[in-house]
Structures are given as C-alpha cells and as structure tokens.
Chain A
Amino acid sequence: MSKKANTSLIMSDAASRRQRISSLLGQSILFLITSLSTITVFFIFYFILKDALPFFKAEGFKEFFTTARWYPSGSPAEFGALPIFVGTGLVTLGAVVVAVPLGIAASVCLSDLLPFNVRQIVKPVIEVLAAIPSVAYGFFALVVFAPLLQNHGGAILSAGVWIVLGPLIALLVVVMGDLITDKLRDKMNPKTAGAIIFPILGIAAFIFLYRLSAQLSGVEISSGTNALNVSIILGIMALPTVVSVSEDALQAAGRELREGSYALGATRAETIIKTIIPASISGILAAVILGVMRAIGETMVVWMASGNASRIPDPWYNMLQPVRTLTATIAGDMGEADHVTGSSRFHVLFAMAFCLLAFSFIMNLVSEIIVKRSRKKLGK
C-alpha cells in the first residue's frame, strides 16, 4: 500500500507546532464564544449598576426603600419606591399562591398518575401555556379578564371559592370524619357513628362555604385592573415552569423508592406524600423559586393589567386594589424619562432594575445550589 509510506506517525516539529497552535487557537476562539454569556452577565451587571449608582449617590437609600411617595416628575421629585416594592411582592405572592399548589399537584399527576399516552397529550398543553407571549397574556388580562372582574367580580370570587376550596374541604371532611369515627370505635358501632358524624361535618362545611361565597359575591370591584387579576394571570404563566421543573424532580426520585414504598403496602397517595415528595423536596423548592423568578420578572402583564397605582393597598394584602410593580414602573416611566438622561428620574429606573437583577441573581444561585445538592444526595 502506497499510502503508508507518506503517512508517518511522527509529525514533524513544524507540523506538530502548527497543529498545536491551530488547535489552541481554535479552542480559544470556541472558548471565547462560549464565555460570551459570562461576558454578557458581567456587562449587564456593570451597565445597570453604572446607571443605578448616580441615583443612590444623589438621593440616598432611605427615601427609596422606606417612604411611600412616588412622584418622580414632581418638583421636588419624590422617589419613595416602597409601594412599588410592596406591589411587586404582592402580585408575586399572589402568583405563587396560584401557581405552586396547582403546579405541584399537576406535576405529581404527570409523573405518577397519568398513563404514558395521556401524558403525551397533557405535555403540549403545558408547552403551549409556556409559549404564549406575555403580551398576549397581558392583552387577555386587560381586555377580557379585567372587564369581567369589574362587572361580575362578586360572582367570579364566589365561584372561585367553590372551585378552589370545595375539593379541599371535602377532603378535610372525609379525613376528620374518619378520624373521629375511629376514636369513637370503642363506644359506638362505627357504622352508626359514621352515619352521624359525616353528615354533621358535611353540612358544617357546606354552610361555611356557602356563607363565605355569599359574602364574597357582595364584593364590588371598582377596577378590574388590580393585583388579583395580575396574580392569577402571572400564576398561570408561572405554572409551566413550576410543573416541568418539579416533575423532573419527582421523576428523579426513581423507581426503586416508589417500589420500596408500594412493597410495604402504601397506597399511591401515601407513597407520593410520604416518600417521593420528601425525597424530591429540593427540586420542588427549586421549581418554586424559578416560578417566583418568572412572576417577578414579568413586565407586560403587570404593566397592562395591574392598574399601575403607586400606593400601598389598604390593608396591604387587599388584592382588589390596583398596584404597581418594579418592572411596570421601568417600562412605563422610561418612555418619559429617557429624554432626561442623567437625571435622577432616569437613574432611579436603573436602580430598580438593579434590585430586580440582584434578586433574580440570588434566587438563581440558591436554586442552582439546591439542585446541585439534591443531585449529590440522590447520587446522580
């Protein structure tokens, strides 16, 4: 074979050097491109901070974080961002209340309850929820949901109570009733005890729900663009994140664990609640954190449908009042402030962005650490 003669194993020094250099060069170019994300992160921090510092220098921290008067265009301008922080916190909290229980229940359902082919149908639903652009959610919140809430607020609230609390309270009645009949076993025939106790509890629960919903149906909502509206929509938007991350966590708990629990005679619910969820709790926590980040960083929905009123709701947990968030303030005020580059009015928006950035950075690190630790624990 002629080829062998000219393909020596040994590279000449020059060739070897050339190869080493070109591979080094190639790799360093690749490395550079790869570290673009790193550079971007640094740049983002640098440029946001650079424009945020002049604000803190000029106005200090105290007013920004502790007072409640937000009049950036007044004279003298007032930069009390407390209501904005409270508003952000409120809608995020609301979104978490919507997304976390629903999301975890759905992820349990996906990982442990549904057969494979049904899961194949449900997954695209989640993907579509995740894919819908935020401005479309915002449009829905503003144009469809807000008028509904404004005109039929009471009815919606009381229906919501039935839908949300109904199943939970029914479950509670069953458990309580069973526990009580169990206690009374020595004194009474369990059947008669059950026949007495279950109806009593059931009627009590029904009355409770009925009165609650009757009270709520009298509520008048003066503006449909409020914290409740935004919270619900943000909750729906955060759902896919919560579901997919916590489903991954539940799946990672593994077959062995499940089989071990089933083999000891546990029901599916007991297996999941007592074994699987504790084993994957850190992953679920990470899912919650990512959900929070999704809600807190969302701009369009809150800008369009939160009402943008920069005052603290009275009382602070009143979800039916309009609020204002950091993201919406940045988006809304920059339009007016960018002619006055260099003023506190401009820089205060960067200060807010920096707060957002710092928060999401810390949250991200925390979730990263949690996930890493849990992986180590599961030995993966």
Chain B
Amino acid sequence: MRLETRKLLDKAFSGLGLISIAVMAIALLLILTPIVWRGSKAFVFKGTIEHRRVMLEQFHRGNAEKFNKDYAEVVAARAPIYDMLTDFEAGTEQRVSSIETEMDAKKERAKELKAEARVLKREGQTEEAEKLEAEEDRLKDEAKALKTQISELKESRTEPLESVIDALQELFGPMPGQRTPVLLRQQYGQTRWDRTLVKLHEVLYTEEWDYSNADAMGILIEKPRIDQFIGTEMESFFPYLEENISEMMQPRRTFYWQFITDKSKDSHIFGGIWPEVLGTIYLTIGAMIFAIPMGVIAAIYLCEYAKEGRIISFIRICISTLAGVPSIVFGLFGLAFFLNTIQVSDSKSVLAGSLTLSLLILPTIIRSSEEAILAVPRAYKEASLGLGASRWHTVLTVILPAALPGILTGIVISMGRAAGETAPIIFTAAVSVGAPLKLWQTLSQPTPALPWNIYNLCTEHEAVDEIRHVQYGMVFTLVAIVLLLNLGAILMRARISKKLRG
C-alpha cells in the first residue's frame, strides 16, 4: 500500500474509534434525557386547583383560606358549564314533554275518534265509521312516530350528553351536587395542567377507530363533539370550556418536592413515592449491613493472611463465579433458601431481600476492597510491624485507615448496584402496594421498592397512561440516587489519586 493510503487508513481508523465513543456518549444522553426531563416534571409542573385541593384535603398542606378563595373563583368559573348542562337537560325535558303533549293530544283524539267510530258503526253508518277509523289509525301512527321521535330525541341528546358528562367528570371531578364517589381518583379532577389538556381534548373530541383496511392497523379518527350539539343549548358549551379552562383549573407552577416524601394515595394516582423510596433505603442499607463486614473481612484475609495456594485460588474462582451469577438466579436462590428453607420470615420480607442483595454485591465489595488494600504502600505495613505491632493491629490501625477511601469507593458503588437491582427482590422482598414500614417491620414484612414499582407501574397498573409522570418521577429518583452515589465514588477516587500523586 502507498504511504498516503496508510495514513488515510490510520485517520479513518482513529475516526472509527472516536465515532464509537461518540455513539456511546449519545446513547447515554438519549437514555438520560427523557428520564431527567420528564422525571423532573414529577417535581416541577403546572399544578391545577385540584392538585392544591388534594394537597389540602389529603395531606393537610397549604393555605386553606387562600385555597377557599381560589376555589370559590373556580366554582364560579365552572358554574356556567354546569348551567349549560342543566339547561340542555331541561331543554331535552321540555322538548320531550312538548312532543309528549302533542302525542297525548293525538292519542286522545284517536280515542275520541275510536269511540265516535264505534257509535257510528252501531248506527249503521259504516262508511263514515271507516273514514273515522282510517283517521284514527293515522293519528295512532303519528303518535307512534312521535314516540319514536322522543326516543330518538333522547338518544341524540342524552347519550352524547352522558358521554360529555363522563369526560367532564374526569376533567373536573364530580358534578356539583353529586354524591361523593368511593374511589379517591374520582373525587378529584385533573391535578396537572398537562393531563388537564389531554382530558380537555377528550371532552372536545370523540375518538373512533377505522378498521376498514383489514391489513393495516386501525386508524384513529377524531370528531369534534360540538357537531353533535349544533343548534342546542350546548352549542356554546365547548367553545366556552376551551376558552375558560385556565380559569376553571387555575394552573400554577408548582414545586412538589414532597413527591419523594409523600405517601401514595389510591395506588399512585395522587401523592408521592415515599413507601418505595423508604423500601429502597431499607433494602440497600440492609444489604450493606451484611455485605460490608463480610466483604471487607474477606478482602483483608485474602490480602494479608492467606497464603496463595489451591484453596485460595479456589475461593477466588468462587468469588468470580458468584459475580457472574445472573441476578434472577439470586432471586430464586433467595426464595428457595432464605424463605423456603431457613425461613427467615413467613412471607417475603425486607430481611430476605437484603440478604439476597448482600450476596449479590459481596464479590464487588471483596474485589474493590482488595484493590484498595493492595494499593496501600507496603512501607506502612513494614513500619508498623517494625514498631512491634501485631499483624491484626497493623491491619486495624494502619492498613484499613489508609485503604478506607478506596474501600468506601467500592462500597458506594455497590450501594448503587443494590439500590437499583430488581430481579433479586421480586421473589424475596417486593410488593406492589404497601405502606411505609417501621424499622422493626422490616424483619417480617415485604416492602414496595423503587425498582420493582417502576416495573409494576409501567406494566401492570390499571391506569398506565394516567400516571406516566409518577413512573418517570420514580425512574428519575432511582437514577438520581444511583448516579449521586457514583458521583460520590468518582470524586472520592479523584481525591485519592490526587493524594497519592501529591
């Protein structure tokens, strides 16, 4: 090959390398951006009056006086809507009753004619009677037609109205004067402005699916609801609703940091994620309580006491095997051993989950601690021994303190790992719904936990689309916890390397 080509190839090769790094960075960005952006909206968003109502009534938070004033305004703003509904209903009634009167009149007339016809028949005026009978039949048919008209009228007015009311209830909560629904989620309207707009759209438009093309997927067709109400009292309902929606909901920028510390209400429709956060904290700390002493002691033994030989290399193989065991297998093992065999608790529990997680992170802790201990200069050890310290004393007073930052780095990283693992806790510790546990309950009771509930909320929840913000908020919280831990580790390591260099 010519030299130019070789140089060109060299450059292309470097380019490929750089592209790969760029791809990696872009992948990271693509994954983190939606999580961070939409996740932060669980905390900072435009909250409606309904949000403030939930806060006040369910969490006893906020200024009641000011709220009442606002709420009075909102009620006033919403009143015309409800008036229009009532008018429309009344209009329906009125129309029905006017037709009914007409129908009744016709029926009455028909009855009269029938009676007259009978009289005439008896008198022998058959021809006249037949005429009357024909008249009577016509009237009956007309009455029948009017009846159909009533039912048609009801159909064309009541059914659309009911569907409007359903949509409106999702938007604003129960109608004035309605009995309080049992489900909490039906007691309140939309708490977030973005969801409000979605629900508003549902009030304004109906959705239909067109399946005429059997090969392709169905096509969504949206029709303005107003078309169903042209010429009625409801004609101005939709424009009015659309124009005045912000007065009816009073959206305000809300910083809901209590999202982390609030309990959830009605399976995450309202409120925060405290039970999950607390569960994750319990599980992580529990795992660390078991894994840190075991891991650090094992590392000390391997570095300072063990004589390299078959047994030790076997132990090392086992440690790396343990590191390679799939996390779901840890979960099964936790189920089969901690729960079914030695029965640390009767049901799934934080304890069983922590134990399982601790086995999972044990190899990581051993390895990082070993590395940290080996990085301690031999000179320290010699100096201490040279002063007449015993081996154990040297380990405790010289080696461990010097290795501590490194050991901590490893511990912090494995904390992140323990906090984020899902598979090991599915069968050993996690439940979908639960209250925050007291400390002593962790020995016997299962807990919700962030990773598990993220899975649960985005696959098994009955209103998956309604609570996207909660899902994103949870993912954001979990990722933030893990990344903050890792950031801590990175900073700690930077300080160590600075110290070693300086």
Interface residues of A (CB under 8 A from B): 26-27, 30-31, 33-38, 40-41, 43-44, 47-48, 50-51, 101-103, 105-106, 108-110, 113-114, 122, 124-129, 131-140, 142-144, 163, 167, 170-171, 174-175, 178-179, 182, 222, 236, 239, 243, 267-270, 272-273, 290, 293, 296-300, 303-304, 327, 330-331, 334-335, 338, 341, 349-350, 353, 356-357, 360-361, 363-365, 368
Contact = CB atoms under 8 A, between A and B. Distances in A.
A270 B317 contact: no
A273 B329 CA distance: 39
Max chain B C-beta neighbours (<10 A), residue from A37, A171, A293, A327: A37
Interface stretch (B22-30, B163-171, B235-243, B376-384): B22-30
A34 B315 contact: yes
A303 B7 CA distance: 47
Nearest to A289: B324
A330 to B, nearest CB: 5
Given A124-B490, A364-B324, 6 more contacts: A37-B319, A102-B24, A131-B483, A140-B35, A174-B5, A299-B328
A47 B363 CA distance: 20
B496 interface: no
B492 interface: no
B359 A40 contact: yes
B13 A304 contact: no
A44 B329 contact: yes
A304 to B, nearest CB: 6
Interface of B: 1-2, 5-10, 12-21, 23-25, 27-28, 31-32, 34-35, 217, 293-294, 297-298, 300-302, 305-306, 314-315, 317-333, 335-337, 340-341, 359, 362-363, 366, 392, 413, 416-417, 419-423, 426-427, 451-452, 454-455, 458-459, 468, 471, 475, 478-479, 482-483, 485-486, 490
Q: How would you classify the secondary structure of chain B's contact residues: helix, strand, loop or mixed?
A: helix
Contact of B455 (A144, A171, A273, A304): A304
B326 A360 contact: yes
B336 to A, nearest CB: 4
Contact of A128 (B5, B28, B340): B28
Nearest to A330: B328
Max chain A C-beta neighbours (<10 A), residue from B419, B455, B471: B455
B289 to A, nearest CB: 15
A124 B471 CA distance: 26
A234 to B, nearest CB: 12
10 contacts: A40-B322, A44-B330, A48-B333, A51-B332, A109-B17, A131-B486, A132-B483, A133-B479, A139-B458, A290-B324
Nearest to B19: A167
Contacts of A43: 333, 337
B24 A133 contact: no
A135 B419 CA distance: 11
B324 A356 contact: no
A293 B327 CA distance: 11
A139 B454 contact: yes
Contact of B301 (A30, A142, A175): A30
Nearest to A222: B217
B24 A178 contact: no
B146 to A, nearest CB: 51
Contacts of B34: 140, 144
Q: Which 7 A-B pairs have the closest CB atoms?
A: A133-B420, A297-B326, A109-B17, A105-B20, A269-B13, A299-B423, A267-B10
Nearest to A328: B328
A170 B329 CA distance: 45
Contacts of B459: 142, 304
B325 A269 contact: no
Contact of B458 (A142, A327, A353, A360): A142
A324 B363 CA distance: 29
B5 A178 contact: yes
Contact of B317 (A236, A267, A368): A368
B349 to A, nearest CB: 15
Given A125-B24, A132-B31, A304-B458, A143 B471 contact: yes
Given A140-B34, A267-B6, A37 B297 contact: no
A368 B301 CA distance: 22
Max chain A C-beta neighbours (<10 A), residue from B28, B363, B485: B28
A353 to B, nearest CB: 5
Contacts of B318: 37-38, 40-41
Contact of A178 (B1, B302, B323): B1
Contacts of A30: 297, 300-301, 305
A330 B331 CA distance: 10
Contacts of A272: 13
Contacts of B18: 109, 113
A287 B23 CA distance: 19
Contacts of B490: 124, 127
Nearest to B297: A33
B392 to A, nearest CB: 7
B10 A270 contact: yes
B8 A174 contact: yes
A120 B34 CA distance: 26
Contact of A37 (B7, B23, B315): B315
